[in-house]
């Protein structure tokens, strides 16, 4: 599918290797990393470069600081976890560009690792600004993109920067693993092909459903997204989470000829508030009364979704079924996870993507038995649609080098 340079094609020869990773990981209320999949997935590339006795310079985005320095989005707070997982000390730069940072990169010894500060602290990142990309490019002699989760974005550290590495911009181990596996599994999936979509990010997930619906045989919906669709049908959702400005889009999707593929949860676990110890009741999702908020799919919905997954040959899951962070509302997400593991154990394809989904699997200690856990969210969805990923297309072609 992609005939791009890989690590195996590069001659490191002690050069500084600038690696775009995806360390955009969720933190808990104490500022500690609560899900490590993306960091762990980057380790093979980093170790490989260290083995070549080359210095490694890591750069990543983190959160949405909107082009400004916002301390809660500083990558400095994840340094202890990166060191623990990598098994060695790393250095941290106070910025990602500038003479001071460049001097730090040139002072690195073979095998040293330096993490740059959040590239999104600069507005040039999201604008794919070539001048900002040129400043980033000064930090390395060779460029490697191992951030599959961000490969769908045309941003400076992913796209524009490759112009400054015309013959030595390569894909890392994680990037190639994702492309090869997903290319086999999702471009022409074994059917029945089921999509499971949930989560609270209603704005982005509505568009996800719009894109997924033509490709899947059935689409199971949970999380806050389910209540937006239920509301769009004119039914009662009480005080459940929904987004008013997405109702028209939801109605449009429900009016499509293929809308019969959509399965909404027949029942929901609801509460009056999120406090511990609050009363919980199960209602039909279309009959949640005022004052009650749906927080998880109910028992009948879980049984229905488990049955659909069991009958599938390929399942793609993105987004939890409810407020899984609180145990009373974790049952739906846990049930989907177990159904996916059972599917994988029977030799069928169970693919999971998205940061919140990975966080749920980590919480339940159920991540080890999936067919594939992708580090991509938006990039995974666009790949499924057959779209070109800008961060991959921009890398050096093998035949031209």
Could you report the per-residue pLDDT of 240-285, keeping only the tens digit for each?
999 899 999 999 999 999 999 999 999 999 999 888 778 999 999 9
**Would you state the pLDDT for residue 2?**
67
pLDDT given for residue 32 in this prediction: 84
Is residue 22 predicted with pLDDT exceeding 90?
Answer: yes
Which are the contacts of 241, defined by CB distance < 8 A and separation ≥ 6? 200, 202, 224, 227, 293, 294
Q: What mean pLDDT do residues 96-115 have? A: 97
Mean pLDDT, range 41-56, rounded to an integer: 95
Read off the pLDDT of residues 148-203 as tens digits, 9 standing for 90 and up: 999 999 999 999 999 999 999 999 999 999 999 988 888 789 999 999 999 886 77
pLDDT of 346 above 80: yes
- Please determine, for residue 336, whether its predicted confidence score (pLDDT) is greater than 70: yes
pLDDT at position 127 over 80: yes
Domains and CATH numbers, the chain: 7-174 (3.40.50.1260), 181-382 (3.40.50.1260)
Q: For position 396, what pLDDT does the model report?
A: 94
Q: Which is higher by pLDDT, 58 or 204?
A: 58
* CA–CA separation, 367 and 348 (whole Å): 16
CA of residue 94 relative to chain centroid, distance:
26
* CB 375 within 8 Å of CB 41: yes
Q: If pLDDT is split at 50, 70 and 90, which confidence band does 210 have?
A: confident
- For residue 194, the cross-strand partners are 218, 315
- The residue-averaged pLDDT of 328-342 equals 96
Summarize the confidence of residues 106-122 as an average pLDDT.
Answer: 97
Say which DSSP state 181 is in: H
DSSP strands (E only) in 163-266: 169-171, 193-197, 218-221, 236-237, 262-263
pTM for the full predicted model: 0.84
Q: Which residues are catalytic?
A: 38, 201, 355, 378
């Amino acid at each position: 599918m992609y005939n791009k340079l890989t690590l195996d094609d590069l001659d490191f020869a002690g050069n500084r290797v600038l690696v775009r990773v995806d360390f955009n990981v969720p933190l808990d209320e104490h500022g500690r990393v609560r899900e490590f999949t993306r960091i762990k997935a980057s380790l093979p590339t980093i170790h490989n470069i260290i083995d070549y006795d080359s210095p490694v310079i890591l750069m990543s985005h983190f959160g949405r600081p909107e082009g400004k320095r916002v301390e809660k989005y500083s990558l400095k707070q994840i340094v202890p976890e990166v060191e623990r997982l990598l098994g060695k000390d790393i250095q941290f730069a106070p910025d990602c560009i500038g003479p001071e940072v460049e001097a730090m990169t040139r002072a690195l010894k073979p095998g040293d690792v330096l993490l740059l500060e959040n590239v999104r602290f600069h507005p040039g990142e999201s604008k794919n600004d070539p001048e900002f990309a040129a400043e980033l490019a000064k930090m390395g002699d060779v460029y490697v993109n191992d951030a599959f989760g961000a490969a769908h974005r045309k941003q400076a550290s992913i796209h524009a920067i490759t112009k400054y590495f015309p013959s030595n911009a390569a894909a890392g181990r994680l990037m190639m693993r994702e492309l090869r596996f997903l290319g086999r599994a999702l471009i022409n999936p074994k059917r029945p092909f089921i999509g499971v979509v949930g989560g609270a990010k209603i704005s982005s997930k509505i568009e996800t459903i719009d894109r997924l619906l033509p490709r899947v045989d059935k689409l199971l919906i949970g999380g806050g997204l389910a209540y937006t669709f239920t509301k769009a049908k004119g039914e009662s959702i009480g005080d459940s989470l929904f987004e008013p400005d997405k109702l028209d889009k939801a109605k449009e999707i429900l009016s499509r000829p293929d809308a019969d593929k959509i399965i909404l949860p027949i029942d929901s676990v609801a509460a009056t508030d999120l406090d511990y110890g609050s009363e919980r009741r199960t209602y039909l999702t279309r009959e949640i009364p005022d004052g009650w908020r749906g927080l998880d799919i109910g028992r009948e919905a879980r049984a229905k979704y488990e049955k659909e997954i069991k009958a599938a040959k390929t399942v793609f899951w993105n987004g939890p079924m409810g407020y899984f962070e609180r145990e009373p509302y974790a049952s739906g997400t846990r049930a989907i996870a177990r159904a996916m593991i059972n599917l994988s154990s029977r030799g069928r394809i169970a693919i999971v993507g998205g940061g919140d989904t990975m966080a749920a699997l980590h919480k339940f200690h159920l991540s080890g038995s999936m067919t594939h856990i992708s580090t991509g969210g938006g990039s995974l969805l666009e790949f499924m649609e057959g779209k070109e990923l800008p961060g991959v297309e921009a890398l050096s072609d093998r035949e031209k080098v």
